[in-house]
Chains A and B, each alone.
Chain A
Amino acid sequence: NAGVTQTPKFRILKIGQSMTLQCTQDMNHNYMYWYRQDPGMGLKLIYYSVGAGITDKGEVPNGYNVSRSTTEDFPLRLELAAPSQTSVYFCASSYSGAQSVDTEAFFGQGTRLTVV
C-alpha cells in the first residue's frame, strides 16, 4: 500500500529553471494538497484540489502552478525557480477534505528543493 508518493526526493535547481514535482496517491482520495515547509515556519498551503479538474489557491500560491487531470495525480510546477522557493514540499491527500470531521490528510515523504 503505497499511499502518497512524491518524486523526486531531492533536487537542486538553478535560478530561472523550471521543474515539476510529482505526486500520486493510490487511495482514491478526492482531495489533494501541496504544502511547503520552511524552517521554523510550519506548513504553508500552496494549492489544493477537491477533485479531478478542480484546483484552487492556498496561502502561498505565487510562483507555482498545479493541474489535476486524474484523481491519482497532482503535480506542482515551478516555472521560474527563485531562491525563495528553496523549501521542503509535501503533497497530501484526504478522503473527504477538511470540511468533514473525523478525516485526516495523509502525507508523502516530501521533496527537498534547493534553488541556487
Chain B
Amino acid sequence: DQQVKQNSPSLSVQEGRISILNCDYTNSMFDYFLWYKKYPAEGPTFLISISSIKDKNEDGRFTVFLNKSAKHLSLHIVPSQPGDSAVYFCAASDSGTYKYIFGTGTRLKVLA
C-alpha cells in the first residue's frame, strides 16, 4: 500500500516558467512533509519541508503548499532553471514514529 504517491513520473518545463510537482498521501497521521531532490549517482538532498500546522512554506524559488483536507501537497519552483533538472521525491512522517515514507519520485526536466 503506497501511502505517499507521486502520480506524475515525469514533467518537462521551459526555463523561466513555473514547475509544479504534486504529491498525495493517504495516512491522516502524517504531520510533517519534506521534498528531496536527487541527481543521478548521488543521494537525495533535502530541499524544503512543511509541518501540518502550516499551509505554505517558502524558501527562495521553492514553495511548498499543503492542503490537509485533500491530503495533497505541491512543490512550486519559480523560475525554473536547467540546474533544477532532477528527480524530486516527497516524503512524509508522523511524530509518533521515527520513519520517513517516500513517494515514487517525479523526474523534472527544465528545457533551456
The residues of B that contact A35 with a CB separation of less than 8 Å are 102
Decide: A48 and B46 in contact? CB cutoff 8 A: no
Q: Mark B32-53, 1 if CB is under 8 A from A, else 0.
A: 1010100001111110010100
Nearest CB of A to B8, in Å: 12
Chain B interface, >50% SS class = loop
* A99: Cβ under 8 A from any B Cβ: yes
Within B66-112, which residues are at the interface with A (CB < 8 Å)? 89, 91, 93-105
Whether A104 touches B34, Cβ cut-off 8 Å, given contacts A48-B98, A110-B42, is yes
Selected contact of B32 from candidates A33, A58, A101, A109, CB within 8 Å: A101
The residues of A that contact B34 with a CB separation of less than 8 Å are 104
Decide: A99 and B51 in contact? CB cutoff 8 A: no
Stretch at the interface among A14-22, A37-45, A64-72, A74-82: A37-45
Whether A42 touches B99, Cβ cut-off 8 Å, given contacts A4-B43, A104-B34, A106-B46, is no
Decide: A90 and B43 in contact? CB cutoff 8 A: yes
What's the A-B contact tally at a CB cutoff of 8 Å?
A: 75
Nearest CB of B to A8, in Å: 14
* B9: Cβ under 8 A from any A Cβ: yes
The residues of B that contact A106 with a CB separation of less than 8 Å are 46
Closest B residue to A100 by beta carbon equals B95
The residues of B that contact A59 with a CB separation of less than 8 Å are 101
The residues of B that contact A45 with a CB separation of less than 8 Å are 99-102
Q: CA A48 – CA B42 in complex, angstroms?
A: 21
Decide: A101 and B100 in contact? CB cutoff 8 A: no
Closest A residue to B49 by beta carbon equals A104
The residues of A that contact B42 with a CB separation of less than 8 Å are 109-110
Nearest CB of A to B57, in Å: 11
Q: CA A57 – CA B44 in complex, angstroms?
A: 21
Can you spell out 11 A-B residue pairs with CB atoms less than 8 angstroms apart?
A31-B98, A40-B9, A42-B105, A44-B102, A45-B99, A45-B101, A90-B44, A99-B93, A99-B97, A101-B32, A109-B42
* Closest 3 A/B residue pairs (Cβ): A98-B93, A107-B43, A42-B104
